[in-house]
C-alpha cells in the first residue's frame, strides 16, 4: 500500500506544474460527471416520475369518488334492494 502511494507521489512530482493543473482539473471534471450521471440525474428523473404519478393518482381518486357517488345513488334508486344490480346496470 505504501509502495503504491509512493509511486503515485513520484508520478505527480515528475509532472510539470502545467500537467499537474490539467490532471487536477480533469480529475475534478470526472468526479462531477460521475456525480451527475449516477446520482443527480437519476434523482431528478425519480422526482419527476413521482410528480407525474401524483397527478395521475389524483385524477384516479377523483374518478373513483365520482363513480362511488353514482353507485350509491343508483343503489338507493333500485326498486328491489334484495336483488343486487349488475355493474353494467349501475353504470347506465
Query: What proportion of the chain, given as a percentage, has pLDDT over 90?
Result: 71
Residue 83 has a pLDDT of 67
Q: Report the C-alpha gap between 12 and 47 in whole angstroms.
A: 42
What are the tens digits of pLDDT across the range 34-43? 999 999 999 9
Residue 80 has a pLDDT of 56
Confidence class for position 71, pLDDT limits 50, 70, 90: confident
What are the tens digits of pLDDT across the range 3-35? 999 999 999 999 999 999 999 999 999 999 999
Q: Report the C-alpha gap between 32 and 18 in whole angstroms.
A: 21
Reduced to 3 states (helix: H, G, I; strand: E, B; else coil), residue 52 is helix
Q: Report the C-alpha gap between 51 and 22 in whole angstroms.
A: 41
Amino acid at each position: 500500500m505504501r509502495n503504491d502511494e509512493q509511486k503515485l507521489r513520484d508520478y505527480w512530482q515528475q509532472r510539470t506544474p502545467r500537467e499537474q493543473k490539467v490532471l487536477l482539473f480533469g480529475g475534478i471534471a470526472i468526479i462531477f460527471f460521475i456525480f451527475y450521471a449516477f446520482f443527480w440525474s437519476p434523482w431528478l428523473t425519480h422526482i419527476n416520475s413521482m410528480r407525474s404519478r401524483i397527478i395521475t393518482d389524483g385524477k384516479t381518486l377523483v374518478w373513483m369518488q365520482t363513480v362511488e357517488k353514482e353507485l350509491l345513488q343508483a343503489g338507493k334508486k333500485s326498486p328491489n334492494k334484495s336483488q343486487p344490480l349488475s355493474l353494467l346496470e349501475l353504470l347506465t
